[in-house]
A and B are shown apart, each in its own frame.
Chain A
Amino acid sequence: MTALLRELAVIGAALLVIALAVDRLRDRGVLVPPPEMVVEQFVRDISLARWQAARGELAEPLAESMEPDSLRRYLERVERRFGRIQDVQGRPFFSTADAAEASAEIRSGGEDRGSLHYPLSRQQGLWKISRLDDGS
């Protein structure tokens, strides 16, 4: 029983460290995924039709309005412009305490490349995409 309590104490201490880092030290990219990683993961998720996972990367008002069908239509718009997404890499653009912007560099067939820019905001300590860019 002592071992279990010690393990719980370690878990609690680690979570406390994370909370302090995010809230007091204003960590924006060490123990939370940085904006460019959120953007990269979002584009990768929609390219793989992982709609629920992609919704998890959106800020709250946007996440509520973007049902899987809406995300599917968004993906279609992106692919009409850039072609079928084969690889994506996130790039930071700027970041302040509560706002950021990052781009997703998309590689479609061959040497075709394009980029999408997403603004992000902080929600519950995590970066979330607050507006979708379809490249138009």
Chain B
Amino acid sequence: MEYERLVLRTLFAWLVLHQLFRYAGKRTVTSAGGVGNRSGIDLMLALIVGDLIDDLLWAEVPGAQFVAAAGTLVLLHVALALLRSGSDVAWRALEGVPLRVIAHGAPVAQAMRAERLNRNALAALLRQDGIGPERWHEVRASYVENQGPLSVLREPWARPATRSDLPPHTEGSA
């Protein structure tokens, strides 16, 4: 193996992918990289592109084929992202619908089955939000979001107090 050729191919592949992902949108970059919330589509893109680069590095395919394949994938990803952002129907079709797994403190069995969650797993997710089993009654609704994490909406009386909850201050009041 001629190492200088390998280095040049690696640099070329890195540069092409860097530029392709640079314009693909920040959500794509963070989610495909596994740092942020990841959707199935982003993960799929990361896996396929990750495999494509191997063929170029070992000179199994011409550079033009690599660019065409990787470019098509990212182009398709960007096009789908634009479609999702502009259409609720497309969003639901491509991303799915968040499932409510807790309603007014009670687990929703059907939704939990759909997400393959048992009570222990649900308890673990809620603990990450600081909600132990003794405080489930404070949860008005909890959803498994499209990207995977659990979102929690508390009952109005259980929300942390804010400045707006205080009575208005009047001059001379005790």
Contacts and interface: CB of A to CB of B under 8 A. Distances in A.
A30 B9 contact: yes
A34 B5 contact: yes
A3 B23 contact: yes
Interface string A8-20: 1011011101100
B16 A10 contact: yes
B144 interface: no
B78 interface: yes
Interface in A1-32: 1, 3-4, 6-8, 10-11, 13-15, 17-18, 21, 29-32
A34 B81 CA distance: 38
Contact of A4 (B5, B68, B75): B75
A7 B59 contact: no
A10 B82 contact: no
A33 B62 contact: yes
A41 B60 CA distance: 8
Contacts of A116: none
Contact of B12 (A1, A29, A31, A33): A31
B158 interface: no
Contacts of A15: 64, 67-68
